[in-house]
Each structure stands twice: as structure tokens, then as C-alpha cells.
Structure 1
Amino acid sequence: MTGGSSILHPAGPIAAANRAILFNALGVMLAVVIPTILLAIATAWWFRANNRHAQRDETFVYSGRVELVVWSIPLLVILFLGGIIWVGSHKLDPTAPIETESGAPPLQVEVVSLDWRWLFIYPEQGIATINRLVLPVGRPVRFRLTSASVMNAFFVPRLGSMVYTMNGMATELNLLAAEPGRYEGLSAHYSGEGFADMRFDTLAVSPAKFAEWAAQVKALDGAPLNAKTYALLARPQRNRKVSGFPTVQAGLFDAIVMQRVAPAPGPPQDRSSTDAEKS
């Protein structure tokens, strides 16, 4: 990955914690791998054909000490790595809210993966955007995510954890941008022919600039985002153009999750009616 999208250059606490787990696990493994490689090279060199000082015990069959070392070291490594992953995975639960010193409430953002674009709804601001995510620096963000079609994955590498999006259900992710910048977001799960172009810009700006941006989107002279315009958006298309909606139909995201509005090709539109037919 490039510096603009690498998990090795975190721009938030979640990404930094992910990198720490990666480096800790790598360090533990290298602590075993490097001595093992050096020992293998040293053994081959010492027992070379022209080394008359090397002696072999042809009667050697078993050594309890050797067995203890051979089995205990891998076991300890596995336990240590397992502990790192166990603790880290629970501390980085994507549904756990992020607490800050300011105590600011999280910004609510609803995400819909389309074929092959991203829809971002800001319910508090009453606006929505296509292929552009704007976040205030230093404020926690709570994402609710779903898919209009096939299973997908939402990932902004420099901000943190990846989370799947699935049709007919909502997942959750909490992130925080600690510094201003432009970060690449992408789909991390193959979803068809437009998958490679399914990327979006993530802009981390100051709270004042975020409020200014939201006001600019609110002032756009364009169509509202409602069930009708969403049905057009949900059609498969490869288009990385950034656009915005000045108003959003109340409860649209929940209607998408419950399949009460026309989605892209996939499961039935209205699960409740389908269940009623089965009964």
C-alpha cells in the first residue's frame, strides 16, 4: 500500500492499536524465526565434511532436554501470540464506543455499499454524499453499515478496522480521525466487475470546516435522497464521481436494511411480506 492508505501510517487510535498488535506479533515470531535460521546455518557449517573437530554420537536416540525445548518453545509462542490477539481483539471491538477527553458525542454516519459506489448518510445533518466521507478531527464517529447488494467490506486503512457490509442487516464500526488529512477508503471484499474502482475519499477536517462543509452540501440545489432516487443509485454502475444530496428522507437507512425500498439485485425487497407468504 502507499503511504496514503497504509495501515503502517495510522491517523487514528484504532489504526495505531492495530499496528501495535501487528508489530508485537511480528516481534514474537521473529524472536523465534531468526535464532532458528541462524542455528540451522551454524549447524550446517559446523558439521561440514571437512571439519574434523565435529563429532557425532551415532548411538544417540533420545534426549528429554531436546524434546522439552522443541515442544515448549512453540507452545509458549502460541500462547503468547494468542494472548496478544485475544486482548487486542477485545480492546478493539468495533462496536465499542470511543471515549475522548472532550466527551464529545459520536458523529452518526450511515453507510450503504452499492454496486459499485459508496453512499454516506449523515442523519444529524440531514445530508448524504456519494464516494466522499468527511469527518471532524478529534470527534468519535459511529458508523452503521449495510449493503444494497452483495456482501462487501468498508475499510479506511489509516483510520482502523475493516467491517463487512451485508444485505438485510446492519453492522457497526467506531473510528476516530486524530489528525487532518485526505485518506483513501476502499472496498476490501470482491463484489463484481466494478470492485477495483470502488474507492472513496475520506477527508478529516477541523470541526469548523466540517460544519462549513455540511452547510455547503445542505445548500446544494439538487434532488433529495429518498426511495425514488435511491432506487436509481442502487442500479449497478461504475462511477467514481463525487456528489451530494441536500436532504435525506427520514428513516431511509433503516428502510434499506429492512428491504422496504428497492435495492440492487439481491434478496426480496420486503422480508416481512416474504415471511408472511411462507406462513
Structure 2
Amino acid sequence: MRQTILAVLSLSTIAALLTGCGGDMVLLNSKGPVGQGQSNLMMTAIYLMLLVVIPSVIMALWFSWKYRASNKDADYKPTWAHSTAIEIVVWGVPVIIIGILAWLTWWGSHKYDPYRPLESDKAPLTIQVIAEQFKWIFVYPEQNIATVNEVRFPEKTPLSFKITSNFTMNSFFIPQLGGQIYAMAGMQTHLHLMADQPGVFRGMSSNYSGYGFSQMHFKAYSVTEAEFTQWVDAVKAGKGTGVNPEAIQKGILDQAELATLKDGDRSKHQIEALVHRAQAAGDAEALAKAEAMKPFPNKPHPVTYYSSVEPKLFETVINRYMSNYHGADHSATAEHGSQAHAANAHATASVEE
């Protein structure tokens, strides 16, 4: 009886949360066709499973009451062993529900495939995403600008995100617009999203990647086309702070600038442990090396705008990790630009397909 009461309370709590009483649940407050579709699939699956859960809870309560020790009028059948009707219900209903869920899973996997372009009368906006050490870098190849920890795009316009990592494996996620997808060094993944209306959405990393993981969040701004054009022009002119006063405006994002975006070498506790170990061992060289390390930041990297971007910067980041497969260093962008581009096309062909 105690377990039954706990089950009822748990279901009541979940129901309250799903109806919005628990606050702004972003997964159920979608602002785009992909996020809305995925949210509908999730709720459909929950409703189907409740077809089993709710009757089971009701019957458990009813059976406990009807066959309680004080009820002398309840039927007593110690030799009862089988009921065809019960077997049909117990096995038939779950089989039907599982079949429906299987079909929904197959249909939803194809309908909301992150690699599948969205249908629209507008041309998609391409945004290249680089997961850097505890921050997100967004490159707009068509506009020739870049940002750190902020992304802006026009409403009702398909977004084609091309994603990689210049660090450990990570996961790119804007919950209100759609599902997450991994960012991996030496690889390129795709994600297609769209916002139905203007707004500010929370973006994050949904994959633990180290001590600075909690700092990897950003704001995604859905704005009108006129506001987007105005913002792009302001950033290109070096006046991005006129749109966002809290941002930092810089010039070109090239390889040298990209290298400065790696924050720290170890966490504060790791550095202290290395210093203590070197002192205990009397190793002056290791001590000097440990003391020279910079700790990971304890707050997010400030929003930064770049008025221009080094050509093929995104491809260069991918090729840097593919040099072992092609027998050469493809990180150079000047002398070997065309070769690096060809190597990247080969390395990511399977992903693009």
C-alpha cells in the first residue's frame, strides 16, 4: 500500500510539472518546427504509456481495498490460476502500444533527422559552430563575421548549423528550437533548426566536457530580417557594441586569435595538486611548469564579435585533426589552402551524405 501511495504521488508530481506548474519547461515550450515536433512526439509517447500506467495504479488501489483482510465478502479462490480475458488485456494492450511507439520512432527519426534540411521558401542561413575550450564560436561564412557565446539569426529562416570541435567531444543544444547533436574534433556534424518568432533562447552544452563545462552556455537571438541585417552591418563595421553594449568588439578572427581563446590549462584544484606533488618530490622543473599553468575560468567567456574571419577557418580546424589520415599537416591556410579544403571534403564526405 505504501508503494502504491508513493507511485500516485510521483505521477501527480509529474503531471503538475507537465502542465506547466513546475515553471518554464523549455522542452515543452518550443519555438520552432523541429522543437515543436519533437515535443509532440515526446508527449504522444507519454500519453500512450499512461494508458498502461493509470489503469495499473487504479487497479492496484482497487485490489488493495477490495481484498483487504477486513473484507469478508471478497471472493476467495485459492485454486484460481488462469483467465484468458486477463491474458489478452495484459499482453495485447502493451503489444499494441509498443507497435505504435515503434512506428512513431521510425517516422520521427526520419522526419526530424538533424541532417535533413527544413522545407521553406527562404534560403537557409549557414552558421559554422566550433566547440572551443569551454566556449562556443559561431562563424558566418556568407557574412564573413564571427561571434563567441552568442548567435543571432532571422526568424522564420532555416538555419544550417555545421558543427565541429577544437577541443574534446561536446554537444550543441538549443532546447526550445530542437534536439542536440555532438561536436567532435576532426568531424563535421549538421543540425537544421528554425525559430517561428523573435525571442531569446538558451543555448548550452549538454555533454560533460571538463571542469569548465558549466560555463559553456550562450544566448540565441531570433530577430527580424531587418534587425539581423543591421546587426551584421554593425559587426562588420566594428560597431557591434552598439547592438549589444555588453559585448566586446574585435577585428579579425584568425589562427592566432583562435589560439588565444583556449582558456587555462587545468582546473584550480588540479594545479594545486600538481604544485603540491612537485614540492613533495623536490622537482624544481615540474614545480615551475605547474606554477606557470593557468586555471580554467570560473565564469563564461564574454560575448565577443569579430568583424572578419580568416578564409576557411572552420575547415582548417577540422583538417588539423585529420593530418594523420592524409600524411601531411593540413593546418596551414596560406600555402596549402586548396589542399586543406580537398582533405576536409574527403574527411567529411561520409558525414555529409
Note whether the superposition's TM-score is higher than 0.5. yes
- Among 176, 185, 193, the alignment partner of 2:211 is 193
**Residue of structure 2 equivalent to 1:229:** 257
Deviation at 1:270, TM superposition (A): 5.6
- Contact 1:258/1:270 (<8 A) preserved: no
In the alignment, structure 1 residue 207 sits paired with structure 2 residue 218: no
SS in 2 for 1:144: strand
Letter in 1 for 2:117: P
* Conserved 8 A contact 1:179-1:204: yes
Q: Which residue of 1 aligns with 2:327?
A: 273
Letter in 1 for 2:131: S
Q: Which has the higher helix share?
A: 2
Q: What's the TM-score, normalizing by structure 2?
A: 0.71
Question: 1:68 aligns to what SS in structure 2?
Answer: helix
Return the match for 1:248 from 309, 312, 316: 309
Aligned residue in 1 for 2:103: 83
Higher relative contact order (CA 8 A, sep 6+): 1
Contact 2:186 2:322 in 1 (8 A): no
Measured after TM superposition, the shift of residue 240 of structure 1 is: 2.5
Paired residues in the alignment total 265
**Correspondence 1:10 to 2:30:** yes
TM-score (norm 1): 0.90
Instruction: Specify every segment of 5 or more residues in structure 2 that has no aligned partner in the other structure, as ranges.
Output: 1-21, 239-248, 265-295, 330-353
Instruction: Measure the CA separation in 1 of the matches of 2:179 and 2:237.
Output: 33
Between structure 1 and structure 2, the one with the greater Rg is 2
Matched, 1:21 2:41: yes
Aligned to 1:262: none
Q: Identity of aligned pairs, percent?
A: 35
1:109 is paired with a residue of what secondary structure? strand
Query: What secondary structure does 2:309 align onto?
Result: coil
Question: What's the CA shift for 1:235?
Answer: 4.7
Q: Kindly report which structure 2 residues correspond to 1:72-221, keeping only aligned pairs within 5 A, or say none.
A: 72-100=92-120, 103-220=121-238
Equivalent residue letter for 2:252: P
Distance 1:39 1:177, change over 3 A: same
Show structure 1 runs of 5+ residues with no match.
Answer: 260-266
Q: How does 1:42-53 map to 2 (within 5 A)?
A: 42-53=62-73
In structure 1, give the amino acid aligned to 2:214: A
User: What corresponds to 1:59 in structure 2?
Assistant: 79
